[in-house]
Amino acid sequence: MNPYIPHTDEDRRRMLQAIGVESMEELFSDIPADIKPRTGLPLAGALSEEEVLRNLKALANRNYRGVCFLGAGSYDRLIPATVKALGALPAFVTAYTPYQPEISQGLLQAIFEYQTIVCELTGMEVSNASLYDGHSAAAEAAALCLGYKRKSSVVLVSSTLHPFTLQVLDTWAMGTGFTLERIPEKASLCDLSQLSARLRPEVAGVLLQSPNRYGFIEDYTGIATLVHAQNSLLAISSDPLSLALQKTPGEWEADIAIGDTQPLGLPCAFGGPGCGYMAVQKDLMRRIPGRIVGQTVDSKGQRAFVLTLQAREQHIKRERATSNICSNQALAALTTCIHVSLVGWSGMVEAARQSQDKAHYLAEGLAGLPGIQLPADTPFWCEFPIGFAKKETMERLLSALKKAGILGGVRLGALTGESRDEAVLLVAVTEKRTREELDAYIAVARRVLE
């Protein structure tokens, strides 16, 4: 069912005639002349299909393709071809929000299963139907904490959160009267002793991230107890694939689990779209933003799925809405659902394990090379920072890697704008990388640094 019905000039003429109008321009006659553009739009004029294709291909060829060791929140992972093929089905790509359950059972069931996947991954009881991305999910988590605890006005946020998450939180907090208080870092981990010192009645919640911005795994033993003793909430942001191997937010007794499902079935695609996930324990179910797909029965007693608990949204709570979210990342969440269904739990564990092994192989291959510093004892999963004695050395290495067809890593300084990060490179290794690619990286590094 793929109709392709373009208008012809004859169609246009007949439509204009039917409504008694002479030309297309006449349709815009109500717009005052002084704000209408006098000359035509500055477009170069129509090109043929072949000319357009050549034009776009030339642009695309200006992109540099390399073996990807870039991470910092967007990861180049193995995605089965079926994921894209199924996700591209017209019924999914063109679907609008499933407000009419009677014609949307397929999509609603898929989102229900996405929610189930998120719950199983995070160890939480309730998930929403997804948010825009992991960074805005953190802002929504902050809002949830502040709405939950009466007379609260502060949210403690770890300095080891992704730089974009901190930026989005700052933007969100502007003008609200709420304060985001940074918990300092110590040895590239959130300084949790500083966390307990800062807990106090005004604190609504705490936002932490593991693996953190550097790729290091943080230990939250005892943190939930401390936070809960103050009647505050604990939110933990995690790469969802990392949860196949590391302790889940549920196991840490967190109240809110957030993050981005990009590593599960979504391509990097120049940074988006992402897909924010948010899951909570049952007692916070009615405080979660966005919507939830629920399972029910229809008038014939057959199982059916519907959008439920949309009562957070602006069109219901109006000026008393606690979030401006009134949608979800349906297609992205669906894609994640398809991907996880195909690779399965064992596939995810395999991907997580290979990522870990391959990252450590690379780190070991680079360790001991002059002029750089690799993590010593701090545990990491599949991403780690390399500290360079001189920024100039880092640039030389990246340049040599690029010549060898390798995208060596993300310049942390470019993300944070901090001078102390300007000679730090974030390197991510996923299950997609091969031994040959890792050895090539090590060989180039040896040549440049030794």
For residues 334 and 107, the answer to whether their CB atoms sit within 8 Å is yes
Restricted to residues 141-180, the positions that interact with other proteins (CB under 8 A) are: 150
Rule CB under 8 A: say whether 228 interacts with other proteins: no
Angstrom distances, CA of residue 268 to CA of 74, 307, 315: 6, 29, 33
Q: How far is the CB of 201 from other proteins (least distance, A)?
A: 13
Q: Based on the shown chain and the rule CB under 8 A, indicate whether residue 300 belongs to the binding site for other proteins.
A: no
Please say which residue, 309 or 449, places its beta carbon nearer to other proteins: 309
State the DSSP string of 178-215.
Answer: -EEEEEPEETTEE-HHHHHHH--TTEEEEEEESS-TTS
Q: Is 286 in the site for other proteins (CB under 8 A)?
A: yes
- Asked if 403 interacts with other proteins (CB under 8 A), we say no
Task: Copy the structure tokens of residue 208.
Answer: 């932490």
Q: Locate 244 and state its tokens.
A: 């196949």
Three-state secondary-structure class, residue 388: strand
| List 47, 103, 316, 389, residue binding other proteins (CB under 8 A) | 316
Burial of 129 from C-beta contacts in 10 A (0-12 / 13-18 / 19+): buried
| Closer residue to other proteins in complex, CB, 186/286 | 286
Kindly tell me which of 283 and 392 has the beta carbon lying closer to other proteins: 283
Nearer to other proteins, 52 or 311 (CB): 311
Site string for other proteins, 105-144 (x = CB under 8 A): ----------------------------------------
CB 293 within 8 A of CB 305: yes
Q: Cβ 255 to other proteins, closest distance in Å?
A: 17
C-beta separation of 232 from 262 below 8 A: no
Q: Is 229 in the site for other proteins (CB under 8 A)?
A: no
CB of residue 323 to other proteins, shortest distance in Å: 13
Q: Quote the least distance from Cβ 320 to other proteins, whole Å.
A: 6
Output the smallest distance, CB 22 to other proteins, in A. 47
Q: What is the CA radius of gyration of the chain?
A: 25
Q: Where are the alpha helices (DSSP H) in 303-418?
A: 314-317, 330-366, 391-403, 412-416
Count, residues near other proteins per rule CB under 8 A: 6
Residue numbers at the binding site for other proteins (CB under 8 A): 150, 286, 311, 316-317, 320
